[in-house]
Structure 1
Amino acid sequence: MTAATMQQQALAEAADMVSSVPTGLFIDGAWRAAADGQQFSVHDPATGDVVARLANATPSDAMDALDAADRAFPSWSRTPPRERAELLRRTFDLVMRDRERIARIITLEMGKPLRESHAEVSYGAEFLRWFGEEAVRISGRFGSSPEGTGDMIVSRHALGPALLITPWNFPLAMATRKIAPALAAGCTVVIKPAALTPLTTLYLVKLLEEAGLPAGVVNVIPTTNSGGATGPIIADSRLRKISFTGSTQVGRVLLEKASANILRSSMELGGNAPFLVFDDADLSRAVEGALVAKFRNIGQACTAANRFIVHASVAQEFSRRVAEKVAQFKLGSGFDPDVAIGPLIDEAAVAGVDELVQDALSRGATLVTGGKRRGGAGTFFEPTVLTDVARDSRLLREEIFGPVLPIVTFDTDDEAIAIANDTEYGLVGYAFTASIERGQRLINELQTGMMGWNVGVLSNAAAPFGGVKMSGLGREGGAEGIDEYLTTKYTLLPSVFRP
């Protein structure tokens, strides 16, 4: 069987799998059409073809979803933690049962290579298992007051209904990373998936339903009118929590709206990750780390390395090795097993990446490989390496969100750290060095919420994910992730031992 035939067969199988995805809104335990009957289209970015038509939630649908979440909250928050945990575990098992189907849905609607979609399924499913385990470990404390006048009880309780807004780039993992801790804590949710990639979330909720999800605990409102649908929910005093992953610009707007009712807010926003290569780095490891940190998910990740800051003594060799690898990457549909770089999510994404590359070239950057969009169907941009990038280039100031690797050089550690921290963002940084002392200094001085030391991928369900500065508020994952959905109560009572 030829590669073209295999690809055509894979596309046909994926399209068939989409037929198993619900096309309606999920509100109060039932699938239904939008209030006005309107629908919107979901496209395959590799071809531009329409792959599904879905109900397009209206503001009134959104309020119905909040109504359902509010009604379900008292019962769900009193549900024993073990029962909440078992629901999440059953859903984990169902996701793993259907992992091939889910991976193909991800590739069809988002575009990433199928092997990366498989990796996302494994990663995303882990949040269900992890927070199922955390549900039974919500703890408090008890002790005498220092003065001996009474006993102090510190307990933790579910916040209330939560609004979850997810991005398009990791459609399963971003949903499970928010839904799982909310349900584990005892919160009910309204989730609005990205209009570009809603199919994966809808299929996940179908599995939650199969696992025994009570009515109203999870409600899903796909829509192309994000602000119109979520605005009334955020303004309603019954909502007690908002969690958003997306751009810093949108995050600012949501924080302003959330301030009216003093909502607990988690914001996982933009990134501008530095990737530092020092003169003592293992270059083979650094090159492999650079390829995965930059080109995983076609560069469309907030954790993607954005600025490659390389010691002058090794910059030429590092650039040569990276460019040789990148020049061999095959561009095409994610269903082709030989493809390393799939399409960008839409035409606007291609135009944005092209603007950043042209700006860098106009300021004197050297194009080593790639550098342009591919003609024909789909939204493809060639994997690109640039050297001699000027410090004032937009590539170094803005989040690229595409397969472009820009390289700048440094001479001293102080200079490298200064370049790395010269950004309003602070999500993640990567550093390749053999020096323990230097690594410890970077832990202390890099202004990021996460750091990869001699590794190019660090996301893990058991670890706290989040940033500082304009990269956001709060943490997702790890033991810290469930805290975002809990409130702390202090109670004082007279000591039974006091006369």
Structure 2
Amino acid sequence: MAKEYKLPFTLDKPDLIHYESFVNHEWVSAKKGGRFEVIDPGTDIAWASCPTNTAEDVPHAVEAAHAAFEKYKKVTPRQRAQWLLKWDSLIRENKNDIAKILTHETGKPLAEAYAEIEYAASFTWWFSGEAERIQGTVSTPAIPGRRVITHKQPIGVAVALVPWNFPIAMVLRKAAAALAAGCTMIVKPSPETPISALVLAHLAKEAGFPPGVLNVLTTDLENTPPLSEALCKHPLVKKVTFTGSTRVGKIVAGHCSQGLKKLTLELGGNCPFVVFDDANLNQTLDQLMALKWRHAGQACITANRIYVQSGIYEKFIEALKERTSKLVVGHGAAEGTTMGPLTTPRSLEKAENQVADAKKRGARVILGGNRVPGKAGYFFEPTILADMTSDMLISHEESFCPIAAIYKFETEEEAVKWANDTSMGLASYVFTKNVDRMWRMFENLEAGMIGLNTGNSSAAESPFGGIKESGYGKESGKDVAVNEYLITKTGTLSVEDHY
């Protein structure tokens, strides 16, 4: 007998929510019949279940997506743009319901859920315009009697392997670009956040996208690796986009290498946040508060290592402590909450290990450092650690929890050296009012995105992606993101140069 769950919230449109995978406009169970539970991180209580799809479910989904692609690739760019705009409109119309679902899947406060939906919808809006701006070229080469033509076409079936921290934004950033280019897509959401992806599929169907254009396969944590591998290795899949850890990204790259699949990797970050003596302290703290504590520190572009110049070091720590002490930790749906729980119990263990390691190696605990007592969910105190050193765990691994790790530096040269002392290169941040230093830092910091007196570098209009072991390829931005889903054909035409 199937287990019954109590929905911990009320929806304005109850038919928005589904608990089955979505393939070819049909809500389908896994072939093996397995299911897994969706847990509210704020209560540690299951409120839904979804199919545990396995590698056996991959052929049907891919074949449906490929059959749809053969038709969808011939749809005019104007029609694709209109469907994207309708999808965008429906997402915005249903933002209240989507925000509730998002909060109970990820744990983030409702205000942050609304902010994610607004950010996410910027991609459907942006890529609807990009759909009609895919262009080739005509040129005259050096060889007489020739013309060279380039023509861009959609690459084929794409697979999106999506994380749990921003599940609406990550699906739309990938899917909107793919659908604008003329590709079809299969989304494999994280086991923690499958419902939000299924809501987006439901709305894509309502928007008019044909069957098979957007599909969603859910699965649990245990079956995520084999299901993902089967998707990556299927011969009809031509493009894979993955957002997640560097460790898993290397595995995905290995799977795709066997078929030479086109691949976009947006991987982990160990992002430095560099504050010079001449920075505007209020501006810097405003940006750091929004960046560091958003989603309890669970963002790949968050400030992982905070480097503060010695002249303002203690003043900065006290000001950050004062502001951070005012955060209200609680369930994301509770009124007044400004920081929710971590999304998984694994993250609690990681936070505890990082704090214990830092303390053992001489760090000062300025604030927090422990689990929040008396709460059933996955709550960890907003934590500030000072006097950090390069031999501590946080210096070498992505934190992904609410820990602000602060390091003291003396010179610009020292700051650049320490900031770049990581295998990762996703984002970096620098705060200074010296314009010459700003330019030097922009050029010398080793990251794909640099925040210059800002902690918010991400927008639909700007390319998003890292260097080094933070991956390759770009998402969002003009031309580059859509190009990730296109192939370029070159035509050489022989032209009689006389009548």
Q: Could you tell me which runs of 5 or more consecutive residues in structure 1 were left unpaired when the two chains were aligned.
A: 1-10
How far does residue 236 in structure 1 lie from its aligned partner after superposition?
2.1
Aligned equivalents of 1:324, 1:77: Cα separation in 2: 55
* Counterpart for residue 168 of structure 1: 164
* Counterpart for residue 178 of structure 2: 182
* Counterpart for residue 488 of structure 2: 488
Asked whether the 8 Å contact 1:162–1:189 carries over to 2, the reply is yes
* Counterpart for residue 354 of structure 2: 356
How far does residue 167 in structure 1 lie from its aligned partner after superposition?
0.1
* Superposed structure 1 runs of 4+ greater than 4 Å apart: 14-19
* Counterpart for residue 434 of structure 1: 433
* Counterpart for residue 59 of structure 1: 55
* Counterpart for residue 342 of structure 1: 340
Q: Matched residue pairs, number? A: 489
Asked whether the 8 Å contact 1:193–1:201 carries over to 2, the reply is yes
Aligned equivalents of 2:316, 2:414: Cα separation in 1: 19
Asked whether the 8 Å contact 1:323–1:369 carries over to 2, the reply is yes
Aligned equivalents of 1:260, 1:415: Cα separation in 2: 42
In 2 relative to 1, CA 171–343 (structure 1 residues): closer, same or farther, beyond 3 Å? same
From 299, 315, 322, give the equivalent of 2:313: 315
Asked whether the 8 Å contact 1:14–1:108 carries over to 2, the reply is no
* Counterpart for residue 143 of structure 1: 139
Asked whether the 8 Å contact 2:16–2:202 carries over to 1, the reply is no
- Show the 5 A alignment for 1:230-245: 230-245=228-243
Cα RMSD for the two superposed structures: 1.3
* Counterpart for residue 472 of structure 1: 471
From 329, 332, 340, give the equivalent of 1:331: 329
Q: Is 1:271 paired with 2:269?
A: yes
- Could you state the TM-score of these two structures normalised by the residue count of structure 2? 0.96
- Deviation string 1:72-131 (CA, Å, 9 cap, x unpaired) is 111111110011111110000000100111111110110001101000000001111111
* Counterpart for residue 400 of structure 1: 399
- Deviation string 1:392-449 (CA, Å, 9 cap, x unpaired) is 1011111000110011011111000001000000000111000111111111110000
Amino acid corresponding to residue 411 of structure 1 in structure 2: E
SS in 2 for 1:305: coil
How far does residue 230 in structure 1 lie from its aligned partner after superposition?
2.3
How far does residue 333 in structure 1 lie from its aligned partner after superposition?
0.4
Amino acid corresponding to residue 62 of structure 1 in structure 2: V
From 284, 287, 302, give the equivalent of 2:285: 287
- Show the 5 A alignment for 1:194-233: 194-224=190-220, 225-233=223-231
Asked whether the 8 Å contact 2:269–2:427 carries over to 1, the reply is yes
- Deviation string 1:351-381 (CA, Å, 9 cap, x unpaired) is 0011001100100000011110113300000
How far does residue 63 in structure 1 lie from its aligned partner after superposition?
1.6
* Counterpart for residue 3 of structure 2: none
Amino acid corresponding to residue 253 of structure 1 in structure 2: I
Aligned equivalents of 1:352, 1:160: Cα separation in 2: 39
* Counterpart for residue 43 of structure 2: 47
Amino acid corresponding to residue 213 of structure 1 in structure 2: F
In 2 relative to 1, CA 137–15 (structure 1 residues): closer, same or farther, beyond 3 Å? closer
Asked whether the 8 Å contact 1:275–1:431 carries over to 2, the reply is yes
- Deviation string 1:148-196 (CA, Å, 9 cap, x unpaired) is 2301101111011111100000010000001000000011111100010
Aligned equivalents of 1:423, 1:194: Cα separation in 2: 27
- Show the 5 A alignment for 1:21-40: 21-40=17-36
How far does residue 279 in structure 1 lie from its aligned partner after superposition?
1.1
How far does residue 12 in structure 1 lie from its aligned partner after superposition?
4.3
Asked whether the 8 Å contact 1:327–1:370 carries over to 2, the reply is no
Aligned equivalents of 2:74, 2:11: Cα separation in 1: 41
Q: Percent identity?
A: 38
Q: Could you tell me which runs of 5 or more consecutive residues in structure 2 were left unpaired when the two chains were aligned.
A: 1-6
Aligned equivalents of 1:198, 1:498: Cα separation in 2: 64
SS in 2 for 1:240: strand
How far does residue 17 in structure 1 lie from its aligned partner after superposition?
6.7
* Counterpart for residue 414 of structure 2: 415
- Deviation string 1:219-240 (CA, Å, 9 cap, x unpaired) is 1100111122222222222111
Amino acid corresponding to residue 456 of structure 1 in structure 2: G
Task: Report which stretch shifted further, 147-156 or 173-182.
Answer: 147-156
* Counterpart for residue 4 of structure 2: none
- Show the 5 A alignment for 1:128-139: 128-139=124-135
- Could you state the TM-score of these two structures normalised by the residue count of structure 1? 0.96
